[in-house]
Amino acid sequence: MSHNKLIYQDINEMLAELNAKDRGRYFICTCPECQQQEAFIYKNNMNFIQCNRENTCGERFILTYEEKETEISYSTEKEKSKGLTVKQAKQLDEFTSLINHVLHNIESDTLDNGYRGLSRSTTTPFIADFSKPEGVKLMFDYANGLLPKNYADNDWMCQRNLVLPLFEEDGRVGRILLRSSINPNLEPKEIQLIVNPSNDARDFFVDIPEESQTIVIGEAILDSLSFREVDEQVGIMALTGSRKYKSLCNYIKDNKEKLRQKRFLVAMDDDAAGYKSAKEISSCLEEEQVDYQIFIYPENCKDGNDFLVKETEKFHRYFQFFDKKFEVNSRNYIDIKKSMQHVVICDSRLDALSFRSAHPECGALVLEEEGKVDFKEPIMKLLLSKELQQKTFILAMPHTTEGQEVTRELIDFFNNMDLKYKVFEYPADALSPLEFSVDDPKCFKKCVEQQFFKKEHLMQKVPYDR
């Protein structure tokens, strides 16, 4: 039997992301497939996880780690509730003071010359450069007693001179992300350490100036900072991993009154994990009735910082484009690239994100407008500028009277234009593709794979009998 494979930086990251609870001989975890807290990992085999819901999920995964020698620093809930000792509290205050001093007062050739396309004014509050291994060793000495082991004598760790701190509500550092400019080829590129062992350290960045109209949510802090490089007043939120969206969503819900007048640009990575996070975050924003857009990338860019570094001027234009979309209150979501073989036509952005989280290489065409929607006009415009003749359109309307009517109109249109299409078939008791993907994510993904990858000649002019 073949198993899916999940890759983590280390065991600590895996345990944190899967919400592991210590049960003696094993950990009980959130299943990566069904998202229920019913998967288990035995401590004598930390490379395998299985869901205990055999009848409804039962999925199994192989777990691999980029950092092989990491010790488990995961704390049980009982350990976390103990709080900091007097010595640890003093040490955490001193460590926080050191980080703030390096952030705001220490010169850095790496940051002064523009790190990853970001100016020093952009990176100053977020990246501390300890410059040399000796400086990193000093930082670890300050943190000794807060970390699960002493990294000061670890040459490999001491090459990670760039420290990105996450501050808690009380102003103290809770978590640090470590990168290297001393050795840019060091793998993994980023390591996370929790330096406040007394609580659940915050796992996302947030910095929202009072005057901010737009808040960018990125998958990593460098991605969100790339947007601030374009507009210094933009608010930023950033995950510390594509699956760490739950606490960010809780923050939005807890601060909904303060954030309701803001507008959000959801800019996750252009991959399956990124689209899954975008779907969950967008769903949260819709629940709280907050205005949002889904950022799109050009063919050769996978995230915000990659876009800034490779095509700075185009990145500026894209940001301005979305600024205008907010102004005219457009909720359309159109992302069709030359390399894409399939374009899914949906009734909502959440439907489209459901498909893209299952099949990230598919394009999306969503028109969210008041009243009756006419897809034919934008498709005609796209035919003039895009190579659509070789693409297959997937019609994925909701199971409503209006959805059925739109589907029939599109079928007639595609037949007249001699374009390839396929009506996406899904259970009648699911109102929409989104509902199907939420109720049975495993079956939804299987349906997408089966229906998208039939031979092209089988996908033309399929009868619609609903």
Per-residue pLDDT reduced to its tens digit, 245-283: 999 999 999 999 999 899 999 999 999 999 999 999 999
Nearest in space to 331 (alpha carbons), one of 299, 373, 363, 360: 373
Domain spans of the chain, in order of start: 4-74, 79-202, 204-330, 332-466
79-202 adopts what CATH topology?
DNA primase DNAg catalytic core, N-terminal domain (3.90.980)
The confidence score (pLDDT) of residue 142 equals 95
Pair of tokens at residue 422: 């396929």
On the question of a common fold for 79-202 and 204-330, the answer reads no
* Residue 74 φ then ψ, to 5°: -65, 135
**Alpha carbon separation from 267 to 212, 236, 281, 370, 450 (Å, rounded):** 17, 11, 10, 25, 29
Nearest in space to 120 (alpha carbons), one of 228, 217, 42, 198: 228
Q: Quick check: 237 and 218 in contact, CB under 8 A?
A: yes
Least confident of 58-62, 73-77, 335-339: 73-77
Paired sense of beta strands 333-335 and 48-51, if any: unpaired
Pair of tokens at residue 174: 């809770």
The confidence score (pLDDT) of residue 143 equals 94
Evaluate if residue 397 carries a pLDDT over 80.
yes
Q: Write the pLDDT tens digit of every residue in 199-211.
A: 677 889 999 999 9
How much of the chain is helix, strand and coil, in % rounded to 5? Answer: 40, 20, 45
Give me the residues paired with residue 267 across strands. 218
Pair of tokens at residue 201: 């350290």
- Tell me the CB-side half-sphere exposure of residue 370, using CA atoms within 13 A: 2
Give me the residues paired with residue 264 across strands. 215, 292
Close Cβ partners of 200 (under 8 Å, ≥ 6 residues apart): 80
What single-letter amino acid sits at 398?
A: P
* Residue 8 φ then ψ, to 5°: -125, 160
Paired sense of beta strands 128-129 and 291-294, if any: unpaired
**What architecture (CATH level 2) is domain 332-466?**
3-Layer(aba) Sandwich (3.40)
The whole-model pTM stands at 0.80
How many Å apart are CA 31 and CA 60, to the nearest integer?
9
Class of domain 204-330: alpha beta
Q: Which residue has the higher pLDDT, 61 or 319?
A: 319
How many Å apart are CA 435 and CA 432, to the nearest integer?
5
Evaluate if residue 107 carries a pLDDT over 50.
yes
> Of all helices (H) and strands (E), which one includes residue 266?
strand 263-267
Least confident of 205-219, 222-236, 452-466: 452-466
Evaluate if residue 229 carries a pLDDT over 90.
yes
The confidence score (pLDDT) of residue 385 equals 63
Give me the residues paired with residue 363 across strands. 343
The total number of residues shown for the chain amounts to 466
Paired sense of beta strands 39-42 and 26-29, if any: antiparallel
Least confident of 11-20, 169-178, 327-336, 447-456: 447-456
Q: Quick check: 177 and 167 in contact, CB under 8 A?
A: no
Least confident of 194-198, 266-270, 288-292, 336-340: 194-198
Close Cβ partners of 435 (under 8 Å, ≥ 6 residues apart): none
Evaluate if residue 78 carries a pLDDT over 50.
no
